[in-house]
Every structure is written in structure tokens, then in C-alpha cells.
Structure 1
Amino acid sequence: MRSPKLAALELRRFGRGRLPRAALVAVLLLPLLYGALYLWSFWDPYSRLDRLPVALVNEDRGATAGGERVRAGDDIVAGLRDSAVFDWREVSAEDARAGVEDGRYYLSLTLPGDFSHRIASSEGDTPETGALRVRTNDANNYIVGQISRTVFGEVRTAASTKASRAFLDKIFISFSDIHGETVKAADGADELKGGLGKAEKGSQDLADGLKDAKEGSGDLSSGLRKLSTGASDLEEGSAKVAEGTRALADRVNGIAGTVGPFLAANERGIGDTARSVADAAGTIRENLGTLEKRAPGAATQAREAHDRLAGTYRTRCETPAPGDGAEPADGPDPVCAELKPAVAAAAEVADLADGLDTLVSDRADELERLDGHLADLERQAGALAGHAPRLSEDLDDAVTRINALDKGAGEVAAGAEKLHRGLGTAETGAVDLDTGVGDLKSGADDLSGGMFKLVDGSGDLAGGLHDGAARIPDYDRAEREDRTRVMADPVRLASESLYKAPNYGTGFAPYFIPLSLWVGAMVAYMVIAPLNRRALAAGGSAWRIALAGWLPVLAIGAAQVTALMTVLHWLVGLEPARTAGTVGFLFLVTGCFAAIVQWLNARFGAAGRILVLAVLMLQLTSAGGTYPVQTSPGFFAAIHPFLPMSYVVEALRRLITGGGLGPVWQACAVLAAFTLGALALTALSARRKQVWTLDRLHPELSL
């Protein structure tokens, strides 16, 4: 009898009563308990976290920062309520502690009283970190604790981001303020540069001017030295003048005291005399011409008269009388006594006449000058005659003026003395001034050099400030929003899932579906013999016996796959990326698992059922269905490549979630190899079963 016919007969056996039919239904539905029911129980647990009661304690008292009230705790509480992550219940700190302890709350979140104060401290000198206190109790539920750490990590990140955004916004505002002030400083530096340029020019002009001033102060010092010397001479001269004017004033006052009364009494006579002198001078001038004409004749006549008179005197008075020459007895001649002075006078007249003649003939030019002098005398005498009636008054006026001159000369002398002393002081000051101007000139030269450096430095300063202002950002409100958002949360996880599982159940389906199919095969061989007894008794071929025991379970496995995928798809919501491929691949999986379970049962009998469970445990722990196998101990990583479920899980992930089919084809090849190998081993076991031994007749363990 062929193997398919034997398999049909084996399946037909389940229709002969209620209990076999019930057993068949149980075998068909049992994978649902492991697959559909288990996946359904935690298909999407994260969407129901809002059912978990969690204590929320808000003790935050708020704070003030920058003149604004900060209530970070209230903001976080409002955000948590809007998020609906957990069933938040605001309670007191004591209630939260007791609730976590006795299991009424899975965990608690506490916002301390100084939370806002610590957040606001980022603007102060001693910034502090705000702390959110989370209390968990793994005795209530370990997974909830793990979930809470993830959730509260996001809460912490959100709170930190919000605080950072406020802090960074102020920084960017400060950048804008710094930019504006730097621009002002740069403009001021430009103005400073211009002012320093003018100051530099002014300092140069000052240096040049002080150079001229130095020369002038030197000239001033020399000039004042000369002036001081001249003032000394002036002082001596003015003192002498004062003495002279004093003496003159004394003499004039003395003469005026004597002459004044005389002039007052003789003004008329003086006037008449002056008039007579003027007339005489005029007469003399008129007779000068006559004198020039008559002088020679008068000289001759005078000389002749002298000679005659002298001859007469000699004849009468000097010639002795005849006899002894003695004088006459009657005494000297009185004529001679009179004649002798006359002779002498005649001689003088003759001499005068000769001198006058000589004068007139030899001093003609002088006579002309005499005429001029006589003209002046005549004029001045006439003027004197005119002033004679006022001579006393003029004398008094002259005396007054001379006294005033004396007083002024005294004052001039005193002023000259003061001038001399002042010029001495001025000379000393001029020397100090010259020295000071020299120092000023040196300082001005240094100032000019320093101002030149300042001009260069101010240019560098202005350029640097303009460059700095260009580099300092100046953000408007929109730019600040963008930049604070980015800098407050600068690193985002750019998560890109090529083939994303929509929920928790879909992600674990590749793990639990093969688990349920293995259990289905294991249970199927609890009600179906791994080796067909009829075929064994008939002595059929080993391969026919193996196939006869494998095909019924394969058919049941196909039914299990159909039922499981129907429930998962239509009731639970599994949406495989490749539905047909998934179902077809599961048919291959159930055939492979059936062949392996058949061999273990056929080869080891009752002990094979225990081995089936052991192999299942090894596959579950090494398949990497929950955590990557690299995170498991080395033993499980070592056996991972040698167990079929490792390839089944990987292939189902690609078929259900999506991705390349390379692992699927590899899994198909591996499963086919495991199937053929298991069937070959089962055939070998069937071959052995055809030989009866005492062990088979009396097995040590009968199940």
C-alpha cells in the first residue's frame, strides 16, 4: 500500500467517534494557544499604557527669572496629562510612596519643590540641574519599570529641551544685543579714528607751534635779558634825570623867588629896554654897511691922529730942556700928564680902528652872520618886548612846568626802578618759560608720535570691530526660534526603518508562529504514531513507512497553518508584507518540524517526547527571536547556526515585515535539508523497528 493511502487511512481514523474528532480539533487549534492567543495578549501593549495607574506628585513652588514667573512643574504636569502615556493620578508624596509600596501604583514621578528654581538658575551665576524623582517597584512589574525609564527619559529630554530653549533664546538675544553694541562700538571707533586723525594733525601742529614757541621763548628770554640790562641803564639814567630836574627845579624856584618880584616890578622897563635893544640892533644893522665903507679911512685917520698926538707928546714931554736935562724948577707939565693917557687912548683907538678895518675887510662873512644874529636879536628883542608885560606870568608858568617835570622825572625814575625789577622777574620767568616750552615741545613730539600710533591702532580697532560685528550673529525672532530649537535638541535620531513592524505583536510574530507550529507537530505525534504500525507489520519499505507517518501530520500542520494565519490576519490584525509567501513558507516549516518531531519519536520512543521539548527549548533560546543572539551567552550563539528555528525566524521577519528574500531562500534550503535528513533518519529507525527485540517487547519506559 502506498504512503499517501496509508496517511489517508490514518487520518480517517479520527472520524470514527466523537473523541477522535475532538482530539483532531484540539490538535488543529492548539497552535492558536501558542501563536494567535499569545500574540493577541500583547499585540500592542504600548497603546494601552494609559491604563496603568501612576502617581504624580507636583511639589514645585515655582520661581522668578528675568522678571517672569517660571512654573516648570506645572508645565510638565500639563504636558504629561496631554500625552496620556500613563493613567496619571496627582497625589501627595506620602500617598505616592505607600501606593508604589503596596502595588496601587506601578510607579511614581515627583517634581521637587525647587524644580523651577533649579531650572531658572541657568540664568544666574550658579546654575543647578533640576531633578525629576522616579520611584519604581519591580516587585509590582519589572517591565513597567523598564518602560517607565524610557518614558521618563523622554520626559526629562523634553523638560531639558524646553529649559535649554529658554536659556539659548536669551543667549541669542544677547548675541543680537552684542552685535548691535559692537556695531555701535565700530561706528564709535570710526569716529574715534577720525577724531584721532584730527588730534594727530593737531598734535603735529602743536609740536610745530611749540617749536616756533621755543624759538620765540628763546628770543623772548634774550630780549628780556637785553631789556633788563636797558632797564638797569634806564633806571640809572632816570635817577640822574630826576636828580637833575630836582636841582633844576630848586634853582628855578630860587631864581623865580629872586627874579619874580623884579620882573613884576620892571616888566615895563624890560619891555622898553627890549624895544631899545631891538631898535639898536636894527640901527646897527643899518650902520654895518657904513662901517664897511668908512672903516679903512677911519683907521688911517686914527692912526694919523695917534701919530700926531704921539709926536706932540714926545716933543713936549719927552724931549729934555737945554742944560743938564733936569726937570723945570716949577715941576711936571700938567699938559703932559693929560696928554699921556690921551696918547695911550689914541693908540688904542688906532689899534681898534686897525682891528676894525682888518675885521671888516677880513671878516666879511662873519659880518654877514652878525647881521643875521642882529636880525635874530632884533626879532627876539621885539618878541621880548611883546612878552615883557607877561614875563612874571610866564615865569610862574615855567616854574610850574619845571616842578611838574621834576615830579614826572621822579615818577619815571620810580617806574624805571619797578620796570627793572619787573623785567628781572620777567627774565627769570622767560628762562623758565623757555625751559617749559622746550619740555612741552618734547612732550608734543612724543604726543604726536603716540597719536600717530593711536591713529593706526584706532584704524585696526575699527576694522576689528567691524569684522567682529560681521561675525557676531544678529538673529530675528524666526531665526532665534529655529536655532534655539536645534541647539536645545541638537542631536535627533533620524530613525529610518526600511521595513518597520507596525506594532509589538507583528515584531514578535516570526518568533511565536514557529513556536506554535513546533508545538502543533509535537501534539500531533501524541495522537498519531510516528511510524505506521500497519506498514511496519506488512513489512513495507522504510521510506514508505516514514512517509506514511509524516504525511498525516503534514496535512494536520497545513490545517494548523491555515487556521493560525486566518485568526492572526482577520482577528488579531497581522498584515504580512508577503502573505502568500508567508503561508507557503509556513507549510515548509510545518513539514520540517513534523519530520524532526517524527524522527525523535520514532527513534527514541517515549523518551523522544522529552527530547522534542528539549530541542524546542534550545531553539527558543538560540533563535534570536527576542534579543539578538549576540547578546546571549556563548553556548546559545554556538548552537544558533545548527537549529532550524534560527533560519525560520529570520525568514519570517523578511516575509512578514519586508526586506530582501535572501534569508528566505537560505531558510528554504536549510529546512529542506533538515526535512530530508529527518525523513532519512526516520526511515532508518523504521528499518530498525521491523526487527523485534526483547527491548521492544519489554520496554523500560512505556508511555
Structure 2
Amino acid sequence: MRSPKLAALELKRFGRGKLPAAALVALLLLPLLYGALYLCSFWDPYGKLDKLPVALVNDDKGATSDGKRITAGDEISKKLLDSKVFAWHEVSSAEAEKGVEEGTYYLSLTMPSDFSRKIASSGGDSPETGALQVRTNDANNYIVGQISKTVFGEVRNAASTNASRGFLDRIFINFSDLHDKTAEAAKGADDLKGGISKAKQGSKDLADGLKDSKAGSKKLSDGIVKLNQGSRDLATGSQQVAGGTQVLADKVNGIAGDLRPFFKDNGKSIQDTARLVADTSGAVRHNLDVLVKTAPTAATGARKAADELAEIHRAQCEEAEEPDATACPPLERAKVTSEDAAKIAADVNTLVTNQNGDLKKLSTQLTAFQKQAEALAKRAPTLDDDLASAVAKVNELNTGAKKVAKGAQALHTGLGTAQTGSSNLDTGVGKLKTGAENLDGGLFRLGDGSAELAQGLNDGVDKIPDYDKKDRDARTDVMADPVQLASKSLHAAPNYGTGFAPYFIPLSLWVGAMVAYMLIQPLNRRALAAGASSWRIAFAGWLPVAAIGTAQVGALMAVLHWGLGLQMAHAAGTIGFLALVTCCFAAIVQWLNACFGAAGRILVLVVLMLQLTSAGGTYPVQTSPGFFGAIHPYLPMTYVVEGLRRLITGGPLTPVWLGCAVLAAFTVGALALTAFTARRKQVWSLSRLHPELSL
């Protein structure tokens, strides 16, 4: 018996009663439970967000900026209520928190009390970011929280754009102010250039002056060195003088100690004696003057008298014939005496004549001595007091000498410091001279730089924009929202259900094949017992399920298209591709059931789970753990999902043709394995007669 007849006989079993017929109908409609119902529930959730209850809390108190009232919270609330993105409920903060916690609201959006103030701060000194507060509760629904992030992201961008408009408008207004201020700065730079030229001349004069100061400081340093050496000698000499005055003071004090009692007790005697000496000195000086005047006359008279006596003596006694014996001896003595007197007078006259200068000096000295004696006589009563005063002055001299010595030493020390300071001054003036020369060079460069600055500022004035209100408004609109998302979706899916259809449709067809082989034998037992060809047996078990699967495809796609509104870019191609898919799935499920028996049903579920997790039907397989990415290319549902996406939403059909080839290969391979299994099943064994597990 041929395979089609065997398949027909298998299907005729479902017409032998109401229950088998009902089972066949249920089998045909089973994919609808997975495909149509799933897609119906997920068909367009984003289009019905306006049915989600969401709390809206507006605590914003508003703010004032540049004299303008800002109520950002009210503006956003109005736009949200008008947009009807969610089913908004305006409530208080406490009600919103309680509602989200209890599940009354899926989430809440709160505009805090300082929302407008923070937005207005963008133009102030301390800008702050205004925060929209979103509260979700994943215990209510996790997906709603994810959807809200996308929706509220757009709300935040819109609010940020509005806030940026005012800030940017102030920036463009400030451009005009900057233009004017830059013009003023350019004029100031021109003035600065002139001032720097004057400063350069001044720095040159300063450098020349410091050059002279350097020479002067060198001379000052050398002079202080010499002065310091002299002060050292002065300090040494003053120390010696101080030592001498100390010795003098000691001696004077010692002598005064001896003389003062004598002066005190003999003042009157000293006065009388001094007066006597003064009188005697006066008399001697007077007689000395008389002597000087009378000595020549006396000498002449004495000589004349001596000569006369000699002549008388010669005449009376020597030449007389009869000298007078009585008179001659006395006359002889008189002659001798007069001769002696004449000689003495002559000697006195000679002495006076020869010593006239000395006598005059002696007279002068006697005059002075007389005055001194008179002065002594006058001061004799006060000699004790005068001596005490003199001693005091000597002591003062000694004290002063010590102070002079100490001051000279201090002067020497100070001049040593001054010598160091003058040396440092000389070095410092040298550095100042170098610095002044550098300053002169720097001012030269500064002059060039100021010229460039002035030129640059003048050029910059022309480059700084000066916008009017129309230009400001246009530029503010662009910069507040500079990037527009020009989104273009190639072969866009119109809704959520269309996007998930390539995933749920093969799932339902696999389940349909799995349930079909729960009702239909994978291998016809009569054919096995009759020893029919293994390929004929394999086809006989596969064709009924393939036919049922094709009918399932028709029923499922009819409901999806006319019931849910699924639009397909390639409707005929989709139907044909799904027919191949259901034939492939039927072949794989047949082999698993035929080869492994009762355990095969479990393996069918395992293979289904592996395909669902690795096909990339929801999220890209790259986001899954590595194991699923590794098995992704080796399972048929991978190619089914890729092919259906192109057939339903459009695009190049290369994945479709690749999928057809892979599915055909899986189908042929599974049928070959089933035929091999049928060949083995024609040989009976104890394990077949008494299986370990049966379902």
C-alpha cells in the first residue's frame, strides 16, 4: 500500500465518531490558542497607554526671572493632560505615593516645589538642574516602568528645550553687549599701547639711572670699608685715651686727697704768701728795669772814677817825690776798689747789654708771675673748692672718655654692619640694574604685544555678532533643540503584535505538530507489521500531520489577517513558507516520537524550549548568555523567525531563501532518520514488547 493511502487511512480514523472528529477540529484550531490569542493580547499595548492610571503631582510654586513669571510645572502639566499619553490623575504627593504603593496607579510623575526656580537659575550665578520625579513600583508591573522611562525621557527633553530657550536668548543678547565692550576694550588697548611707549622711555631712564647708582653704590661700599677701618683705629685709640684718663683721674683723685686738707687749713697763709710773692716780683721787675736803664751810666761813671783815682794815686803816690805815707795806703785801696767797681759796673753793663732779650723775657715772666701770684692770692681762699671742681671735671673727662671709647666701638660695629649692608646694596643695585634692563626689553616686547592686542581687538569687534530680536529668536530655536531625530524605519512594523508575529506563529505550529503526534502514530503499525518499505512507512506517518499543519497554517493566518489585522508584505510567500515550516516541524517531531517513544515527547518540549530561547524572537540573541548564541545557528526556528520577519514586514528575501534551504534540509534529514528508525522498528525485541516507559 502506498504512503498516501496509508495517510488517508490514518485520517479516516477521526471520522468514525463525534469525539475523534472533535479532536481533529481541536487539533486544527490548537495553533490559534498559541498564535492568535497571544498576539491578540500583545497586539498594540503602546496604543492603549491612555488607559493606564498614572498620578500627576504638581507642587511647583513658580519663580520670577528678569521680572518674568515662570510656571514650568503648570505648563508641563497642561501639555501632559492634553497629550493623553496616560490616564492622568491630578493628586497630591501623599495620594500619589499611597496609590503607587497599593497599585491604584502604575506610576507617578511629580514636579517639585522648586522646579521653576531651578530652571530659572540657568541664567544666574549658581545654575541648578530641575528634576522631574518619577516613582514606579515593579511589583505592580515591570513593563510599565520600562515604558515610562521612554515616555518621560521625551517629557524631560521637551522641558529642557523650553528651559534652554530663555537661557540661550540671554546669551545672544549678551553678544551685543560683548560687541560694545570689545570695542571699548580695543580703544583701551590703543591707549595702553601709547602708555607702554611712555613706560618704555621711563624704563630706559630708570636703567640709565641705576647704572649711575651702581657706580655710586660701589664708591659708597669702598668708602664704608675705609671708614670701618678708621673706626677700628678710633675705637682702639679711644680705648687707650680712656685708659689714660682713668690713670689721670686716679692720680688727680689721689693728689687731691692729699692737697685739699692743706688748702682748706692754709688758705690764708697761701694768700698772704702769694701776695708777698706778687709784691716782690713787682719790685724785682721794677729794679730790673732801673738796672737796665742805669747800668751803662754806672759803668761809665765807675770807669771814670776808677781812672781818676788811678791818676790821683799815680800822681800822689807813684810819681810824687815824697808819697804821703798816710794817704797813699787808703788811696791805694780806694784805687783798687774803684777799679773793681768799674770792672763790676762794666761787667754788669755788658751783662745787661748782652742779656737784654733775656732780661726783657725775665721782666715779662716776672709780670706774668706777679699776675699769677696775685691771682693765686685772690683764689687762695677758694683753692679747696676749685680743686674739688677740677677733680670732678677730671672724673667727668674720664667718664666721657669711656663713653667715647664705647661709642667708638659701637661705631666700629655699626660700620661693620654698614659695610655688609653697603655690599648688599651694591649687589642689589646691580640686580636692579639688570632687572631694569630686562624691564626695558620686556616693555619693548609688551609694546609689540599691546599693538597686536589692539589690532586683534579691533579685528574681533567686526567678528562678534550683534543680533537683533529676529535673529535671536531664530538662533534660539535652533540651539535650544539643535539635533532633531530624523527617524526612518525601514519596513516598519505598525504595532507590537506585528513585530512579535514571526516569533509566536512558529511556536504555535510546533505545538500543533507536537499535539498532532499525540493523536496520530508516528509510524503506522500495520505497515511495520506488513514489512513495508521504511521510506513508505516514514511518509505515511508524516503526511497526515503535514496536511493537518497546512490546514492549521490556513486557519491561523486567516484569523490573524482578518481578525487582528495582520498585514503581510508577501502574503502568498508567507503562507507557502509557513507550509514548509509546518512540514519541517512535523518531520522533526515525528522522528523524535518514532525514535525515542514516550521519551520523545519530552524531547520535543526540550527542543521547543531551546529554540524559543535561542531564536532571537524577542531580544537579539547577542544579549543572551553565550550558550544560546552558540546553538542559535543550528536550530530551525532561528531561520523561521528571520524569514517571517522579511515576509511580513518586508525587506530583502535572502533570509527567506536561506530559511527554505535549511528547512528543506531539516525535513529531508528528519524523514531519513525516521525511515531508519522504521527499519529498526520492523525487528521486534523484548524492549519493544515491554517498554520501560509508556505515555
Give the TM-score normalised by structure 1. 0.61
Conserved in 2, the CA contact under 8 Å of 1:14 and 1:20? yes
Which residue number corresponds to residue 667 of structure 2? Answer: 675
CA distance in 1, matches of 2:500, 2:475: 41
Deviation of the 1:12 alpha carbon: 2.4
Deviation of the 1:185 alpha carbon: 6.9
Which residue number corresponds to residue 37 of structure 1? Answer: 37
* Deviation digits for residues 298-357 of structure 1 (CA, Å, limit 9, x no counterpart): xxxxxxxxxxxxxxxxxxxxxxxxxxxxxxxxxxxxxxxxxxxxxxxxxxxxxxxxxxxx
Conserved in 2, the CA contact under 8 Å of 1:49 and 1:85? yes
CA distance in 1, matches of 2:653, 2:682: 43
Among candidates 519, 525, 530, match of residue 527 of structure 1? 519
Number of residues of Structure 1 aligned to a counterpart in Structure 2 = 451
Which residue number corresponds to residue 352 of structure 1? Answer: none
Deviation of the 1:474 alpha carbon: 3.2
CA distance in 2, matches of 1:591, 1:130: 60
Deviation of the 1:457 alpha carbon: 9.0
SS at the partner of 1:134?
strand
Which residue number corresponds to residue 645 of structure 2? Answer: 653
Among candidates 585, 599, 613, match of residue 621 of structure 1? 613
* Deviation digits for residues 150-185 of structure 1 (CA, Å, limit 9, x no counterpart): 211221121112111221121122223433554677
CA separation of 1:14 and 1:114: change in aligned 2, threshold 3 A: same
SS at the partner of 2:134?
strand
Conserved in 2, the CA contact under 8 Å of 1:196 and 1:454? no
1:9 aligns with 2:1: no
1:87 aligns with 2:91: no
SS at the partner of 1:519?
helix
Letter of the structure 2 residue corresponding to residue 47 of structure 1? G
CA distance in 2, matches of 1:638, 1:189: 74
Letter of the structure 2 residue corresponding to residue 151 of structure 1? V
Among candidates 573, 580, 583, match of residue 565 of structure 2? 573
CA distance in 2, matches of 1:147, 1:120: 30
1:289-300 matches, within 5 Å, as: none
Letter of the structure 2 residue corresponding to residue 579 of structure 1? A
SS at the partner of 1:700?
coil
* Deviation digits for residues 351-374 of structure 1 (CA, Å, limit 9, x no counterpart): xxxxxxxxxxxxxxxxxxxxxxxx
Among candidates 511, 533, 537, match of residue 541 of structure 1? 533
Letter of the structure 2 residue corresponding to residue 537 of structure 1? A
Letter of the structure 2 residue corresponding to residue 55 of structure 1? A
CA distance in 2, matches of 1:82, 1:154: 15
More moved, 123-132 vs 692-701: 692-701
Which residue number corresponds to residue 504 of structure 2? Answer: 512
CA distance in 2, matches of 1:114, 1:578: 56
CA distance in 2, matches of 1:44, 1:475: 49
Which residue number corresponds to residue 66 of structure 2? Answer: 66
Which residue number corresponds to residue 428 of structure 1? Answer: none
SS at the partner of 2:69?
strand
Sequence identity (%): 76
Which residue number corresponds to residue 336 of structure 2? Answer: none
Which residue number corresponds to residue 580 of structure 2? Answer: 588
* Deviation digits for residues 563-591 of structure 1 (CA, Å, limit 9, x no counterpart): 11111111111111111111111111111
More moved, 454-463 vs 572-581: 454-463
Conserved in 2, the CA contact under 8 Å of 1:189 and 1:461? no
Conserved in 2, the CA contact under 8 Å of 1:582 and 1:656? yes
CA separation of 1:517 and 1:171: change in aligned 2, threshold 3 A: same
1:163 aligns with 2:163: yes
CA distance in 1, matches of 2:19, 2:108: 53
CA distance in 2, matches of 1:157, 1:454: 50
Deviation of the 1:655 alpha carbon: 1.3
1:689 aligns with 2:660: no
Letter of the structure 1 residue corresponding to residue 74 of structure 2? D
* Deviation digits for residues 31-82 of structure 1 (CA, Å, limit 9, x no counterpart): 1111111111111101111111011111000000011000111111112112
CA separation of 1:593 and 1:480: change in aligned 2, threshold 3 A: farther
Which residue number corresponds to residue 597 of structure 2? Answer: 605
CA distance in 2, matches of 1:564, 1:467: 76
SS at the partner of 1:35?
helix
Conserved in 2, the CA contact under 8 Å of 1:43 and 1:506? yes
Conserved in 2, the CA contact under 8 Å of 1:510 and 1:652? yes
Letter of the structure 2 residue corresponding to residue 634 of structure 1? G
Deviation of the 1:464 alpha carbon: 3.1
Which residue number corresponds to residue 26 of structure 2? Answer: 26
CA distance in 2, matches of 1:36, 1:73: 44
CA distance in 1, matches of 2:638, 2:27: 25
CA distance in 2, matches of 1:46, 1:612: 35
CA separation of 1:453 and 1:101: change in aligned 2, threshold 3 A: closer
SS at the partner of 2:139?
coil
Which residue number corresponds to residue 691 of structure 2? Answer: 699
CA separation of 1:117 and 1:592: change in aligned 2, threshold 3 A: same
CA separation of 1:642 and 1:457: change in aligned 2, threshold 3 A: closer
More moved, 170-179 vs 89-98: 170-179
CA separation of 1:179 and 1:688: change in aligned 2, threshold 3 A: same
CA distance in 2, matches of 1:74, 1:569: 45
CA distance in 2, matches of 1:156, 1:628: 28
Structure 1, unaligned stretches of length 5 or more?
201-451
1:123 aligns with 2:106: no
CA distance in 1, matches of 2:470, 2:517: 71
Which residue number corresponds to residue 637 of structure 1? Answer: 629
